[in-house]
Amino acid sequence: MTIDDVLAQVRARLDLEADREHELLEEIRGHLQDAVDAAMARGLDPEAALAEAASRFGIVATTGELRRAHAGWGALDGVLAAAVPVVLALLFRWLIFAPDGTATGWREALNRPAFWVIAIISLLAPLARFRQRRAVLAVWALFWGLSLATALGGAVRW
Amino acid sequence: MSTRSRAEQAEDHTRSVDQMRKGTTALAILKLLADGEEPLHGYQIIRQLEARAGGQFHFNEGLIYPRLHQMEHEGLLHSAWEGQPGGRRRKVYRLTDEGRDRLAAELRQWRAFSLGMDAVLGLTEGV
């Protein structure tokens, strides 16, 4: 058995995005290398040292916890990545154009502080990183609320 | 009269200590990283926590990682990779300002809880 064999067992139990999974496996590889070195320094042969390291690591329990800990992170990031720029783009567009779709409010919009604030936030949005699930859900609800209002409200033209 | 074997009682004791430890692992990690000057990787954190515990606690080694990742996700820790690609690489963790604030708050809670339990158990006058 090698460290790669142990990592293959871990990988078989994980179901995460490729990048996240690769990073996790690299971190576990480092842990196992250190644990094997420590066991060999105590006099164990390489095979016994790796068996002990794998046993103390606890593949089944750890992978279960890792799956739970990382569940949904990718999806939330995806929601954020899609929803925040869209919401800000809708607001931005609403500030530039009049509700009837014409640009009659353009000059007026340039004089509004809110216009510049939304414009700057729209540009910076892709850099933002929300950690709170509540904030993500709020953005998600706002996005769909605006989308439904657009689809169902005949008087509102974007 | 108790019919429980010594092994069963020892197992209960271990389980009880383990339950208490699980609730405080995050606090222990925060304190460990706050006390050190250098960022630490997962294996170092486990070894140093076990050394501090003086053999009282046994940490399931792998389970430290989901806890570290969760704490990083909450903004309490910041991680970075050390080492060269192709060589040995280690993901090291250090405390963030938010982590220091959380540590201070949790230490206050811990002291209040500890004092309260000592009073409840009648340990405040010395044993």
Number of structural domains chain B divides into: 1
Q: Mark out chain B residues that contact chain A at CB-CB < 8 A.
A: 41-43, 60-63, 65-67, 69-70, 73-75, 88-91
- Which pLDDT score, from 0 to 100, does residue A117 have? 78
More confident residue, B37 or A29: A29
Percentage, residues of chain B above pLDDT 70: 83
* Residue A129, pLDDT above cutoff 60: no
Tens of pLDDT, residues B24-76: 889 999 999 999 989 999 999 999 998 998 877 777 788 899 999 999 988 99
* Residue B102, pLDDT above cutoff 90: yes
3-state secondary structure of B88: coil
Task: Using CB atoms within 10 Å of the CB of residue B21, give its burial: 0 to 12 exposed, 13 to 18 middle, 19+ buried.
Answer: middle
Q: Which domain holds residue A7?
A: 3-70
For residues A131-144, average pLDDT: 58
Residue A39 lies in a domain: yes
| Angstroms from A4 CA to nearest CA on chain B | 14
Q: From CA B56, how far away is CA B65, in angstroms rounded?
A: 21
Q: Do residue A62 and residue B73 have CB atoms under 8 angstroms apart? A: no
Q: Last residue of a domain, which of A39, A70, A101?
A: A70
- Which pLDDT score, from 0 to 100, does residue A1 have? 85
Q: Last residue of a domain, which of A20, A36, A70?
A: A70
Q: CA geometry: angle at B34 spanning B32 and B39, to 5°?
A: 80
| Residue A131 pLDDT class (50, 70, 90 cuts) | very low
* Residue A32, pLDDT above cutoff 50: yes
Tens of pLDDT, residues A83-104: 676 777 677 667 666 666 665 5
For residues A31-45, average pLDDT: 94
Contact list, B84 vs chain A (CB under 8 Å): none
* Residue A148, pLDDT above cutoff 70: no
Number of structural domains chain A divides into: 2
Q: Do residue A61 and residue B62 have CB atoms under 8 angstroms apart? A: yes
3-state secondary structure of B124: coil
Residue B31 lies in a domain: yes
**Secondary structure of chain A as H, E, C letters:** CCHHHHHHHHHHHCCCCHHHHHHHHHHHHHHHHHHHHHHHHCCCCHHHHHHHHHHHHCHHHHHHHHHHHHCCHHHHHHHHHHHHHHHHHHHHHHHHCCCCCCCCCHHHHHCCHHHHHHHHHHHHHHHCCCCCHHHHHHHHHHHHHHHHHHHHCCCCCC
Residue A158 lies in a domain: no
CATH number at residue B66: 1.10.10.10
Residue B126 lies in a domain: no
| Angstroms from B21 CA to nearest CA on chain A | 17
Contact A61, B62 (CB under 8 A): yes
Residue A157 lies in a domain: no
Residue among B93, B66, B86, B71 nearest A26 (CA): B86
Q: Which of A23-37, A123-137, B92-106 has the lowest mean pLDDT?
A: A123-137
| Residue B90 pLDDT class (50, 70, 90 cuts) | very high
* Residue A147, pLDDT above cutoff 50: yes
